[in-house]
Amino acid sequence: MRHLLIYRLKQTLRDRSILFWTIAFPMILGTFFFMSFGFGDSAKHDEIATEIPIAMVVRAQSAQTETQKAFLAEVQKEKLIAIKSYSTEKAAEEKLEDGKISGLFYLDQDLSLTVTRSDLNASILKLILDSYNKNVAMISDIAKEHPEKLPAAIATMSDLKPTVKAVAPNGKTTSGFLQCFFALIAYACLSGVFLGVNNSFETQANLSALGARRSISPTPKLTLILVDFIVILMVDFISVLLLTLYITKGFGISLGDNLFGIIVTVLMGCVIGVSLGIVLGASNKASINLKMGLTVALTLVPSFLAGLMFQNMGIIVEKYCPLLNRINPAAVLADAFYCLSVYDNPARYARDMWTLAIMSVICIAIAFSLLRRERYDSI
């Protein structure tokens, strides 16, 4: 087994074209991302934007809406939000859809909030809404039970400084372009498809001379399959870890403090990528050039839908076809990294991990079944 592992590793590392797409290309792409998004400016990189753009829509003028206006104006003084003015409700809703504002507060008998995405700004706005509702409920209770203490209670609640503090998640700087880097790592994981397709091609006796020589080897076929899978998975896993190190140490972009979670997520993504490649390579007898063309599509299309080329693409897909985000391995991987570095949600991260695990088991089962059943009348 050791002999097979060493020589299969040497053979894989000699294929420079495959290694370019697996290792070099994601790093080159990440470098262009870093240069394009301006993270090189340290002043911009260290600055934490605290003002969240919102709009207000008054649906019924009353004492309640005046109180709601006063509350939001007080929050604005603390540099938490920036209230934008629009002529009509429809104009405000269009700005929300376009991402020009992060939230839309409706002022009526009750204060309500509408957002179009699940991110840090939406979470902060939700906390502001909850704070208002709790304060209103508390004042109502005090007015009923202890009306003489109502002025003191209102004066205490008017000072938001001791209770509201704007910080970045985990105390670190975040950027809207982080989603592109999450999608980039997901793309790098799926680039294991190149290794899987090439491995399948070199395993089939009717497609390559190397496959013919390996097929007549006395080594059990299951052993050869296991060795190939371990080697190409290891190469892909190390290449993605190098990319992750390049992003975190070279660019100074934080992916969170959960190192174990990052490693597990990368490993799961590499397993899916390699398995998909083996499935694609073993499922048809097309030429290697055609298979590589399909491989490019199999890596780029899911990554595009996860936000690799357009950071809001994942949000658009979530709005119109959320099921696609649940079965797209690149989107699931990007969401897992989002949970680790920005949005601390263990339940959502666990859902992503279970999804990746089920995908991995299905892909591995199909890949092994396709390779093991290959039989030839003559070689």
At 55-85, the pLDDT tens digits run: 888 887 777 787 778 878 877 877 778 888 8
Q: Which residue ranges does the chain devote to CATH 3.40.190?
A: 50-166
In a 10 Å sphere around its CB, with 0-12 CB exposed, 13-18 middle and 19+ buried, how is residue 237 labelled?
Answer: buried
The conformation of residue 173, written as its DSSP 8-state character, comes to: -
The contacts of residue 99 (CB under 8 Å, 6+ apart) are 116, 117, 312
137 neighbors 119 (Cβ within 8 angstroms): no
DSSP one-letter string for 200-257: HHHH-TTT-HHHHHHHTSSS-HHHHHHHHHHHHHHHHHHHHHHHHHIIIIIS-----S
How far apart CA 157 and CA 135 sit, in angstroms, is 7
Amino acid at 155: A
pLDDT over threshold 90, residue 263: yes
Question: The pTM is what?
Answer: 0.61
- R_g (Cα) of the chain, nearest Å: 27
Around Cβ 22, how many Cβ atoms within 10 Å?
A: 26
State whether the Cα torsion 123-53-323-260 is positive or negative: negative
Quick one: fold of 50-166?
Answer: D-Maltodextrin-Binding Protein; domain 2 (3.40.190)
Average pLDDT, the chain: 77
Taking only the tens place, the pLDDT of each residue in 100-156 is: 888 888 888 888 888 887 777 888 888 888 888 887 787 777 667 766 665 665 555
pLDDT over threshold 60, residue 232: yes
Q: Which run of H or of E encompasses 155?
A: helix 150-158
**pLDDT at site 213:** 61
